[in-house]
Every structure is written in structure tokens, then in C-alpha cells.
Amino acid sequence: MITDHAFRAGQAWQRAAIPDVVVTGCVLTGAAGVGKTTVLESLRDRIGGPVVAVSGVRRTAELVFGHLPGLRTAPPADSSQSLRWAVAREFGDGRARALIVDDAHLLDDDAASIVHSLAVHDGIPMYVAYTTSRGRRARAAMRSLWKDGHLPRYELSPMSEVEVREYLEFAVRAPVTSRDVDSFTRWSRGEPGVLVELVAASDGQWRTVNGVAILATRPTPPPALIEELEAAVAELSEREREVVEAFAAAGPEIGGRLLDQLPLSPMIDYCGMDTLLEAERGGVIVVEGDRVRLSVPFLADAVANGTPALRRSLVAEELARSVRVARMAGSPADPTALEQAVTGLLTAQSHAGVGPVRTVELARSVLRLGDPTMVCDVAAPRGAAPENSALAALYTWALTDLNDVPRIMEMLETWKSDQSPAWRGIVDFYAAYGTRRARGAKEFITKHDTTDGGVVGSALRWIDRDRLSGVWFAFLLAETAMMVGRYDDARRLLDAASPEADDNGLLVFDLAMIDVHLETVVAGAGRACERAENARRESWWRSDHACAAADYVCASAHVSAGRFAQAKDELRDSAPFVAGPALDGAPARLMKLIDRMSTGQPSPEVEATVDVLDDTVDPYAVVRVRDATIVRAWAAATADEMSDAVDALLDAGATIVEHTPTIAVDLLELAARFVTPGDPRIQRLETIISLVADSVEPAAQVDALIDYCTALSDTDGAGLCEAASRYERLGHLPVAADAFAHAVAAHQVNGDARRAAAARSAAQNLVRTVGGLTSPAQRAIAAPVLTRREREIVGLAAEALSNQQIAERVSLSVRTVEGHVLRASAKLGVQDRHALVAAWQELQT
């Protein structure tokens, strides 16, 4: 089993691009802590013989080399030249094969000159580590080693995020999330030594959920790092220390949550612009847009160690006041969710916030962050009942985020008599939710489509009564409008609800999921990906749960667009946090489905039992059946049971289309991809699609599907290529690839080998772009396997040689050559020599 040191050495070798064999020596340069010593130790193991190792920490020549055996028995004269000859004799006598010099930047002039002479004049194999820093010139004697070409120089840069991920996964023996990789990269600043210490300090703080390791708490900085930082703190000016003290007060509750950043405007109010400018000029802070962070991670920890608890509490209270002042003085009428979250967390730390008010404020802040588990801990510590209706409402919304139905029902029963607006909003929302499940999407939306502003007016009036429950109700209406094909209403509802949704960080991404589905249908997968990624960027500061929800939303969009590798990374990151029975395991299921689509590998775990859809009214029952049908269809298709797959998709689509036509679109689109041009079932497919088109507002995906099916029905190669190009413009690359593959079959039926070859090329290019696709259409146009002799003969035919000329070239009879040509033509699906050459040339590219 590879050791930790060997793993880190391998990373450093790769980072510096050092060749496997370094015979004559080398110089390793780079900033402090980037792994030069690790590489030196690895080199020492590779030399395979006795070496002399010295360190520049001793500085003077006498101390650097004085430990050598020959010098101890016969000390040289008091001159660097005599010392140099004495050292050279150590190697001349064969007692050592190489000289290793660590920390060479600390050598004095005499010691550096000796090292230079030993390498240049005595030809001693030498391996040197020299620390470089910005603004400091290397010693001339040492710089000459690489500048004049005496030794090759290899520069070690700080670790990249890729290397940090590799090391973390090696250390914890499990995949890790991108958020933890980002944190460790930031905390270590890419220095391997610091990273190793931080990982060691976090031992026991990792937990594995759904196969992915996540860091439970921010690691404590190692003592050596704290000592170094305390020395840096001693050098801070009074103003700089004031800035760091603010971070130290905010750190316990905010540091790890907000990626060690604070909003800029409250910091200006608290510290003053002149103080912040001095701290920025001194390199203490970095300002990034509307946020500010410390340039050196954990510097606040060093200050906190020397700051009394009461002082930290007072600073936290003053910072909370600054957030409120900055918020009131700012241009927006409403405070941002970030500022509100910061205020609540800071108030929770200050002594001024003790009591029920503090608890409610803290619970609200954590709900804004999108951490329902912590909301439950705050509102109902150790399982105790919430002490007032405000906490009970926040607790119930957190349970809603977690989809904890038993406890939700218990809370509804316990607080049913409470008449506060917050609690009545919860009761009314769950009544509306129950109505939709019982009566269906169309009846539900019709009920709330009032003459006073329509469905949007109903949502806005509810939001005015109670914001949290009102946004949940708007979510319910927007989802319903999207399902039934009222896309304009769905967009207006999302636009009305989204600005009000920041009180619940996870609800933001419930709305984003509807937005992605809506945008996919109306404008295409490319636009949907953009909107999902924008929502994720804007919520960088939210909890791990919310960031995981953002990743899951993005992954859903990227799967539709065919960005399979990116989607799998996002699903891995979301797997530990996507909670609740409704979504539990959803990332793993979607990841396995991607594997099924891209590689065709059977995964027993991905098989799903398709529910009997005896309830066509409940929208969630319909969605579950749609998802299970798609999974089963892919399983059947990859097992060459395409007929069963198409029948299942058409049956489910026909059942669903009446109440939720939008949900049927994905089923019908997959059925179109699984049929072959001219299949009689295309007529049934077109009938169901026409029902969808009659039920929904105009949408790009529906229009593209209609064109696709029309071309399939007519075996129209040109029409299929046009449909494929339309899907490609919309960003639906997997569908586009299959439409091009269908065009290949249609052109071959019509005897147009040239256009068939072009369509095959377009399909295969898209398959390469998405990283693999094993649909029936792609398997049908897979490159045929020609024998070696067939390849040889077709290649000669492509050079315009006749059968007679080919026969003479390869020493075969003309009749045998003709047989090879005919078999190759059959394999490539062409009927004449010209088409055979065109198909062969396309195959070669």
C-alpha cells in the first residue's frame, strides 16, 4: 500500500514535471512549503547509494559541512577553498554518490560558493532545494547553477484544486465534495505541508454519507501554524488588528459558513474606510466585489485566542449593528438574505441577544442559509417542543425541507389551534397541497385562477399575508402551471416568488428546479443550464445543504444537455446532503442512469419498478411513474428490447397527457429516440404529441419533437437532419445525436450514401462531445468492423484503382477482390463503388 509520503512525492514530481530519471542532479525552486523537501527525500531514495545531505539552516560553510567524517578527523584550514577541497575529497574517495542540499537559500556566500564549485568544477551530482520569493533575488552563486545551464531547474508551484482533491481522497479513502476541496485549498493556500497538517487535524471529523466523505466541522489550525500566525499578529498595526478582530468575532458562527468572507458594507461601517484601506495595502485583507476576506486563513483564529470572550461578544454585537445600519442606508428597500443571515448569526453570539428573540433570530438566519437540520436543533433542542409559535413555524418549514412527513403531521396536530399568521400560513399551505394531490393539477390551478390578478394575484396576496408560506404556495402554483402547460403563468409566478424566497435557502432551489424544467421545455437545455448555474453562483454563501441542492439542480439541467461528466461531479457533491424520502438516493440513481445512457453498462441497482398508475391525478405520483418508466426503458433498450421500451413509454405518455401534458414530453421524446424510421408506432406517437401540443402553450422542445416525429414517420433524412440541428441549437445534444443517427438510416433507405455518411459524422461528433451515448439509434450506426483484407482492398479502391489493378497489387484473383468489395459495401450500407469510397473516407475520419 502506498505511503502518505510516497503519494505526496508523486504529486510533487508530477507538478514540477520532473523526469523519471535525474542523473546529474537538479535544482528545485518554488515558494516555501510547496514540497521541495518531499521531492528531495524521494530523490534520495532513487539514487540507490550513500549520499551527503546538508541543510542551509546551518548557514556558514563550517557548520554546513563540518559534520562530514573526513572533516572531523582532519579539519581544513580557515579558508573556503580548503574547505571546498576537503568536501570534494569526500566524494572522490567514493564515500558518497551525490550531494543533497536543502534550504539552499539560507546558505551564506561562502557556503553557496562551495556548493557552486562542487557542481560546476568537480562535477559532483547535486540535488538542491532553493526557496524563492517575490521581490528577493537569488544568490548569484546559486542562481548560476540553473541560469548557466549547469543543472536543470524544476519549479514547484502551489497545489492545484485537482491535487488537493487527490490528496484528500487518498487520506480519507473516499470521494470528497468540491466544497470541501475548495475549503482545504483556501485554508492551505496550496502548501502541501499545511494541507497535511490540516488533514491530520481533521482526523475523526469526516463522515461518509451516500459514499461521499464530508467534513463535519472546520478543522482546528495545527499548533505550529498558530504559532506562526501569532508572530504575524504581533506585527499588525492597531488598525489592521481591529479588522482581524472583527473576523475573529464573526468566525465561530460565520467563518466556515460564508467561506471566511464577510459583506463589505458593514465592515466599512464598523471599521471605517481608512482602516480597511490600510489593511488592504498591508496585505491583511482582500476585497472581492461586495465581500472581504482575510488574505491569510486562520489569522482570525490566532487573534481570537488572545481576545477575551466578552470582548468578542461585544464586537459581534457591534458588527450586527453595522449590518443593520449598512442595510438601512443602502439603496435596496429590502435587506439581502446574506445580510439578514449575518445579522442573526452575530446577534446569537452577542449577550444582547439572549432569550427567545435570540433563538428565533438565529433559527431564521439558519433557515436563510438553507440548513434545515440546524434549524431543528435551534428550534427544538434535544427533541424538546418549540417554545412559541414563531419557532414552531420555522421548525415545521425545516421539516418540510427535510420531507419529514410524520413530524410535520405531528406539528400540524399539536399547533392546530394557534391563530398566528405564520402558523395559519402553514396550515393553509398544507390544505392547498392536499387539495392538489386529491383533485389534480388542472382543477387546482383553475380554483386559484381568480379574476383579481389570476394565479399570480392569488400568490401575491398570500405572500402579503405571510411571506414564508406565501412563497411555498407560489412554488406549488408555479409547479402546477408548468405541468399543465401554462408556461407564461409559470414564469410570472417564479418571477414573483423568487425575490421573496430568500427566507428559506432550500426553497430557492425548489423554485430553481421548476425554473430549469420550464426553461428546458420553453427555450431548451442550453438556456436551462445557464439559469441553473446563475442560481448556484448567487448562493455561494449558503449552507452545504443548499449548495448540494444547487448542484443537484445543475446536474439535472446538464443531463438534459448531455454534459454527463459535469453532471456526475455535481451529483457526487450533492449526494451527502440531498435529504428526505422523496429525494433520498436521487443523486445516486441519476448517476447510475447516466452510466446506463453513456456506457450501456447494466446496473442492477438502477432498475426501478414502475408503479401502476391507478392515480392519474396526483402530480407527484405521475412524476414518480415517469421517472421509473424512463429508467426501465433505458434498461430494456440497452438489453436490445427496444420494442418493449417504446411500448412502455407510449403507454405511460398516453396515460399522463390528459392531466399533466408537460410531464409526458420527456417520455414521448425518448420513445421517438428509440423507434426506427418508418415504425408503425410512430403514428400513435404523433397522436399523443398532438394532444400535448393542443394542451400547452408554444414551447421549443414540443415544436422540435413534432418536427422530429414527422420526419421519422416520412423516413425523411433531410427532415431528420433539420430536426437534429434544431435540437442541437436548443442544447439537447443527446437527442440531436439520435436524430442524426436516424437520418443515417433514412438516407440509406433512400440510397443517398453521401448524406448518410455526413449524418453519421454529425451524430458521432455529438456522441464524442457528450462523452458517450449507447442508445439504440447510436448502436445502429456504430462503425462496422471490416476485416484486414477488406480494409486493404477498399483503401486501394479509394485510390481509384480498378478491381483488376487491385488484384494485381495484392496478388488475388479479380473475382476474390469483387467479393471483398461486395461484403464491405454490405457492411457499410452502400450500393455502389462511389458510395463505398465516400463511406470509407468518412470512416477514416
State the DSSP string of 649-689.
Answer: HHHHHHHHTTT-HHHHHHHHHHHHHHS-TT-TTHHHHHHHH
Determine the Cα–Cα distance for residues 408 and 396; give it in Å rounded to an integer: 6
pLDDT > 90? residue 250 = no
Distance of alpha carbon 677 from alpha carbon 744, whole angstroms: 10
Across the strands, what pairs with 52?
99
Residue 610's pLDDT is: 45
**Stretch among 261-275, 338-352, 569-583, 764-778 having the lowest mean pLDDT:** 338-352
> For residue 31, with 0-12 CB atoms within 10 Å meaning exposed, 13-18 middle and 19 or more buried, which class applies?
middle
DSSP state of 181: H
How many Å apart are CA 663 and CA 602, to the nearest integer?
26
Helix, strand, or coil (residue 680): coil
Element (H, E) at 447: helix 441-447
Split at pLDDT 50, 70, 90, the class of 259 is low
Write the CB contacts of 365 (distance below 8 Å, at least 6 apart in sequence).
340, 341, 342, 343, 344, 345, 348
Residue 42: predicted pLDDT: 84
- Which helix (H) or strand (E) element contains residue 286? strand 285-288
The CA-atom distances, in angstroms, between 702 and each of 376, 442, 786 are 43, 20, 40
In angstroms, the Cα distances linking 111 to 75, 105, 148, 259, 448 are 16, 11, 19, 45, 86
In single-letter form, the type of residue at position 256 comes to G
Better-predicted residue by pLDDT, 339 or 562: 562
- For residue 352, what pLDDT is reported? 45
Could you give the angle at the alpha carbon of 237 between the alpha carbons of 236 and 240, nearest 5°? 80
pLDDT at 136: 81
Name the nearest CA neighbour of 499 among 663, 384, 335.
335
Q: Provide, rounded to the nearest whole percent, the portion of the chain with pLDDT above 70.
A: 89
> Would you state the cell numbers that stand for residue 111, as one nine-digit string?
557556503
The SS3 call for residue 48 is coil
Question: How large is the average pLDDT for residues 217-242?
Answer: 86
- Cell 556558514: give the residue: 60
pLDDT surpassing 50 at residue 330: no
828: which 3 cell numbers?
457499410
Say yes or no to pLDDT of 579 above 70: no
**SS3 call for 338:** helix
Q: Could you report the per-residue pLDDT of 648-680, keeping only the tens digit for each? A: 999 999 999 999 999 999 999 999 999 988 889
324 versus 6: the higher-pLDDT residue is 6
* pLDDT at residue 81 greater than cutoff 70: no
Q: Coil, helix or strand for 528? A: helix
Closest among 534, 481, 456, 470 to 507, alpha carbons compared: 470
What is the pTM assigned to this prediction? 0.80
Q: What is the pLDDT of residues 365-383, one digit of tens each?
A: 889 888 898 899 888 888 7
Are 379 and 386 in contact by the 8 Å Cβ rule? The answer is yes
pLDDT at 443 over 70: yes
| Class of residue 451 by CB neighbours under 10 A (exposed 0-12, middle 13-18, buried 19+) | exposed
Q: Average pLDDT over the chain, rounded to whole? A: 86
What per-residue confidence (pLDDT) applies to 71? 59
Whether the Cβ atoms of residue 589 and residue 606 lie closer than 8 Å to each other: yes
Pick from 330-344, 503-517, 657-671: least confident: 330-344
d(CA 156, CA 35): 7
How many Å apart are CA 638 and CA 504, to the nearest integer? 41
Whether 526 has a pLDDT exceeding 90, the answer reads yes
Strand partners, 133: 136
Query: CB of 513 within 8 A of CB of 590?
Result: no
pLDDT in tens, 706-751: 999 999 999 999 999 999 999 999 999 999 999 999 999 999 888 8
Find the distance separating the first CA and the last CA of the chain, reported in whole Å: 43
Q: Which pLDDT belongs to residue 332?
A: 42
Does 75 score more than 70 pLDDT? no
Calpha distance 775→597 (Å, rounded): 7
Identity at 625, one-letter amino acid code: V
d(CA 295, CA 290): 16
Q: In the structure grid, which three cell numbers stand for residue 459, read together?
A: 400568490
Pairing state of beta strands 285-288 and 98-102?
A: unpaired
Examine the pLDDT at 117 and tell me if it is beyond 90: no
Q: Using CA atoms, how far apart are residues 221 and 298, in angstroms rounded to an integer?
A: 7
pLDDT at residue 410, as a whole number: 94
**What is the rounded average pLDDT of the residues 18-45?**
84
Locate all alpha helices (DSSP H) within 523-641, ordered by sequence. Answer: 525-538, 544-561, 564-574, 586-599, 619-638
Cβ distance 599 to 770 under 8 Å? no
Q: What is the pLDDT of residue 517?
A: 97
The pLDDT of residue 164 is above 70: yes
Tell me how far CA of residue 602 lies from CA of 108, 628, 631, 647, in angstroms.
66, 16, 11, 21
Q: Using 50, 70 and 90 to split pLDDT, how confident is the model at 606?
A: very low
Cell (9 digits) for 287: 476585497
Q: Which burial class, exposed, middle or buried, applies to 454 when counting CB atoms under 10 A from its CB (0-12, 13-18, 19+)?
A: middle
> How many Å apart are CA 840 and CA 425, to the nearest integer?
69
CA distance 108 to 65: 13
pLDDT, tens digit, for every residue of 460-505?
999 999 999 999 999 999 999 999 999 999 999 999 999 889 889 8
Domains of the chain as residue ranges with CATH: 4-156 (3.40.50.300), 161-215 (no CATH), 223-354 (1.10.10), 788-844 (1.10.10.10)
Backbone angles phi, psi at 832, to 5 degrees: -145, 170
DSSP for 779-835, please give it.
HHTSPP---HHHHHHHHHHTTT--HHHHHHHHT--HHHHHHHHHHHHHHHT--SHHH
pLDDT band with cut points at 50, 70 and 90 for residue 137: confident
Cell match 574547505: residue? 83
- How far apart are the C-alpha atoms of 289 and 314, rounded to whole Å? 27
Comparing CA positions, the residue from 367, 539, 635, 656 lying closest to residue 553 is 539
- Rounded CA gap, 730 and 410, in Å? 46
pLDDT single digits (tens) 260-304: 778 888 888 889 999 999 999 999 999 988 788 888 888 888 888
Lowest mean pLDDT among 16-25, 619-628, 759-768: 16-25
Pairing of strands 126-131, 98-102: parallel
Q: Write the DSSP symbol of residue 605.
A: G
Element (H, E) at 378: helix 372-379
Rounded to an integer, the average pLDDT of 204-208 is 88
Using CA atoms, how far apart are residues 489 and 508, in angstroms rounded to an integer?
18
Looking at residue 73, its pLDDT comes to 52
110 contact partners, CB below 8 Å, separation of at least 6: 60, 61, 80, 83
Greater model confidence, 230 or 316:
230
Q: What is the pLDDT of residue 609?
A: 46
